[in-house]
Amino acid sequence: MDFNFSGKVILATGAASGMGFLVCKRFCECGGSAVLADINGEALEKAVESITESGGKAVGVKCDVRVYEDVTRACETARDTFGTLDVLVNTAGGAETRILGAKGDFPDVPIEVYDWGIDVNLKGQLYFCHAAMKIMREQKEGVIINLGSITGLEGSPSAVAYSASKSAAMNGLTTSVAQVGAKFGDIRCVCVAPGPVLTRAAMANMKTALGYAAEPEEIVEMFLYLASPFARSITGTTILMDGGRHIMFDKFHGENGKYGQ
Ligand SMILES: NC(=O)c1ccc[n+]([C@@H]2O[C@H](COP(=O)([O-])OP(=O)(O)OC[C@H]3O[C@@H](n4cnc5c(N)ncnc54)[C@H](O)[C@@H]3O)[C@@H](O)[C@H]2O)c1
């Protein structure tokens, strides 16, 4: 679609890589400005450079989404540098066991791993909704996009906190923040829940009904659509982009019909 974000400002978390980076890049290509927030300072610097070198207006904020002072600083950077905060995309996140390299069955994995999963995937998104809403309330407009996952719908024995965060928790956060936003003005909140996305090659192994994983650009175009006036009537809902994985009722079952075999 033909998006025009001139004069608009996006802030994405987890923006040093993957979909967070791509949404900032595309937003700048469509005339807007971007604040990239990430815990990985070195990768963040490179990500910002790659946008500014091609003429985009972007700044980076080193930020841990689990630390509320970092979160407010990131949101204020958007307003103080570019004048507004129009779009927040809560991209930082991931499966705790994969990211922290934890192996074993649920009861054998140290509890701290699950703390990380809840803190980054749920608390971090809530913190950013809270801090961004303070600015959006003053502006009386804005769009917040939270990240869910198909894993939130179907569960995962190897990513219990991730699954818990990305399911009813994200639905509750999104509907509640949408209700708050509607009270303050034209402020929308939507959750996008992808299935496998090829930000990592391994995601190609996760089955979908259609037989392929999404390219990150497809999900990012949805973010841009939701951020644009074309989506002005969409709020308080979750958009599932999973290649039909949720309709594959046999995906976990082997020949004897037992789970996982
Ligand atoms: N890739 C997929 O297949 C897929 C599927 C469903 C949902 N998702 C969700 O989409 C989002 C983006 O996925 P992706 O594959 O583009 O991500 P990615 O792994 O490429 O990037 C995640 C970024 O988050 C940053 N990050 C991690 N912890 C942080 C913290 N405490 N504070 C700030 N930044 C932190 C990392 O440094 C990294 O740059 C995630 O929330 C993920 O759970 C991804």
Provide the total of helices (H) and of strands (E) in the chain, helices listed first. Answer: 10, 7
The number of the ligand 1 atom at minimal distance from the alpha carbon of 196 is: 3
For residue 257, the model assigns a pLDDT of 65
| CA–CA distance, 194 with 171 (Å, rounded to integer) | 14
For residue 1, the model assigns a pLDDT of 80
Sorted by where each starts, the structural domains of the chain and their CATH numbers stand as 9-247 (3.40.50.720)
Q: Is 60 in the pocket of ligand 1 (CB under 6 A)?
A: no
Q: Is 123 in the pocket of ligand 1 (CB under 6 A)?
A: no
- Active-site annotation holds for 162: yes
| CA–CA distance, 194 with 18 (Å, rounded to integer) | 13
Q: Is 242 in the pocket of ligand 1 (CB under 6 A)?
A: no
| CA–CA distance, 59 with 217 (Å, rounded to integer) | 21
The pTM score is 0.97
The tokens for 4 are: 């025009």
Q: Is 203 in the pocket of ligand 1 (CB under 6 A)?
A: yes
* Averages of pLDDT over each 10 residues, the chain, 261 residues: 95 98 98 98 98 98 98 98 98 98 97 98 98 98 98 95 95 98 98 98 95 98 98 98 92 70 57
* Spatial contact of 206 and 195, defined as CB atoms under 8 Å apart: yes
For residue 256, the model assigns a pLDDT of 67
Atom 17 of ligand 1, residue of closest alpha carbon: 18
Q: Ligand 1 center to residue 15 CA distance, Å?
A: 8
> Which residue is catalytic, options 162, 212, 225, 259?
162
* Spatial contact of 66 and 105, defined as CB atoms under 8 Å apart: no
For residue 128, the model assigns a pLDDT of 99
How many Cβ atoms sit within 10 Å of the Cβ of residue 51? 23
The number of the ligand 1 atom at minimal distance from the alpha carbon of 15 is: 39
Q: Is 93 in the pocket of ligand 1 (CB under 6 A)?
A: yes
Q: Ligand 1 center to residue 225 CA distance, Å?
A: 20
| CA–CA distance, 111 with 181 (Å, rounded to integer) | 35
Q: Residue 226: name the closest of 19, 62, 52 by CA.
A: 19
User: How many residues in total does the chain contain?
Assistant: 261
The tokens for 197 are: 């996305």
* Spatial contact of 41 and 17, defined as CB atoms under 8 Å apart: no
What CA dihedral angle connects 24, 243, 250 and 98, to 10 degrees? -20
| CA–CA distance, 144 with 86 (Å, rounded to integer) | 8
Which of 45, 146, 147 maximizes ligand 1 atoms within 8 Å of its Cβ, making it the mutation to test the pocket? 147
Atom 32 of ligand 1, residue of closest alpha carbon: 64
Q: Is 197 in the pocket of ligand 1 (CB under 6 A)?
A: yes
